[in-house]
Amino acid sequence: MGTLNGLLGTLESDPVRRGKQFEHICKWFLTNTAVYRQRLRRVWLWDEWPSRWGIDAGIDLAAEEQGGRLWAIQTKAYDPAYSIMKADVATFLSESGRPEFAFRLLIATTDRIGKTAERCGRRRNLPGVSCVATSTRPRFRGLSPQPTYGQSCPNRSDLGLINEKQSRR
């Protein structure tokens, strides 16, 4: 096991591949962290979720609480200096506005959320949660317990992440 910061440093630079890899990390985190393991019965990548209604259009993961309530989850593997804009979350807010979702969660590698995006999220009842994993003091707003910088997390092979070059062999 390594650290979250170390794992993020191994992700590919291509934004699409990096985003997909980050989805797997977030699934692992929600499945294996004690507070979520107790609260969530199941976590799916969008393409694995049996009730999905189409291709990924903003919702990256879905989760089911022990009591059956569903969560819509979006993940963003952005540069820590980037501010998430309304356009970055608009499709997620629209797609996750369906009545089957009781809760929405945003997990990102930046704690910067633009004012318009934050206001739009509040207006639509999106919890202000962001995962900051690449700074020297990661923090999860609205999340308890607080993970620490050196918190153990899986390595790439534990998550089944391979480089695109490796997959062509």
Q: Would you say residue 120 has pLDDT above 50?
A: yes
For 27-80, how does the pLDDT look when each residue is reduced to its tens digit (9 = 90+)? 988 888 888 888 899 999 999 999 999 888 889 999 999 999 999 998 988 888
Total domains in the chain come to 1
CA dihedral 88, 138, 21, 96 (to 10 degrees): -40
Q: What is the pLDDT of residue 90?
A: 84
Q: Using an 8 Å Cβ cutoff, are 156 and 162 in contact? A: yes
Over residues 137-159, the mean pLDDT reads 44
Q: Using an 8 Å Cβ cutoff, are 75 and 23 in contact? A: yes
Query: What is the domain extent for residue 160?
Result: 2-167
Q: Would you say residue 169 has pLDDT above 50?
A: no
Per-chain mean pLDDT for the chain: 74
The CATH number of whichever domain residue 109 belongs to comes to 3.40.1350
Full DSSP string of 43-90:
EEEGGG-TT--SS-SS--EEEEETTS-EEEEEEE---TTPPBPHHHHH
